[in-house]
Amino acid sequence: MKSRQSFRAKALYVFTALWLLPPAGVRAGTITFNDLSDNIAVVDTTGRITSSVCTTNTAVESCHVTFSAPLNTVSSSGSPVSLNVRESVLGPISDVLTFSFGSSGGTIDFVSDMDGGAVLDPVPGPFVVETGTVQDAGSVTWTLVDGSTVVDTVAFISDVSEIPEPASVALLGTSLLSLGLVRRKRARLRA
């Protein structure tokens, strides 16, 4: 009986220890660019930003962030390297995000257009449509000396244009036209 209790205690101990260990590739943190107002704010949960410079002029607002890799990093990998953010599916580019990284750290540049400012040129990379919610732009996986990995995410939240989508405008127009035709038909029936 004692050996069964001992076995159960050891099994419970091993299960608890494994359950408490972080999984490989644990997400270490996120660097988020918040562009919901006229000033970009950088939110860092990695704790490894070494410098952050944000500027605003009449045409664009931009941020340049430098960050360090976790201690004991031997290599890094990830993608994408650049990202184009559109206001709508076929709309103009409102934000451009580029980042580069190596085994010692990296840099991120976030550029956003200002209302009535310059139209941004596309960069090589994928296109996404801004949603007004936090969106992942990419990630960096750091491989440490002991073989474990740490994953950092780069994200952004951008203001959504107040210009209505073409489908919404078409739906409104069709609804108004239908109401007008119904009213016209009722008027003819009364006469």
Shared-domain flag, residues 110 and 149 = yes
| 64 and 149 part of one domain | yes
Strand-pairing partners, residue 143, are: 75, 149
Please report whether residue 88 resides in a domain.
yes
Q: Is residue 53 domain-resident? A: yes
Q: What is the DSSP letter of 21?
A: S
For residues 89 and 45, state if they share a domain. Answer: yes
pLDDT for the residue numbered 45: 92
CA distances 161 to 85, 91, 132, 148, Å, are 12, 10, 9, 42
Contact between residue 150 and residue 142 where contact means Cβ atoms under 8 Å apart:
yes
Q: How many CB atoms lie within 10 A of CB 182?
A: 10
For residues 117 and 101, is the Cβ–Cβ distance under 8 A?
A: no
CA distances from 114 to 98, 125, 158, 191 (A): 18, 22, 12, 56
Q: Does 187 reside within a domain?
A: yes
| Confidence (pLDDT) at 16 | 44
Q: Do 178 and 151 share a domain, yes or no?
A: no
Q: Answer yes or no: do 132 and 186 share one domain.
A: no
85: containing domain: 22-160
Task: For the beta carbon of residue 116, count every other beta carbon within 10 angstroms.
Answer: 7
Based on the fold, state whether residues 172 and 91 are members of the same structural domain: no
Q: SS3 for 37-84, per residue?
A: CCCCEEEECCCCEEEEEEEECCCEEEEEEEEECCCCEEEEEEECCEEE
Q: Is the peptide bond before 22 cis (omega within 30 degrees of 0)?
A: no
The CA-CA-CA angle for residues 97, 71, 148, to 5°, reads 90
Tens of each residue's pLDDT in the chain, 191 residues: 555 555 565 554 444 433 434 444 555 799 999 988 778 889 999 999 999 999 988 888 999 999 999 999 999 998 768 999 988 888 888 899 999 998 899 999 999 988 767 778 888 889 999 888 899 988 899 999 999 999 999 999 887 655 555 666 666 777 777 877 778 888 888 87
Residue 13 lies in a domain: no
CA atoms of 165 and 170, how far apart (whole Å): 9
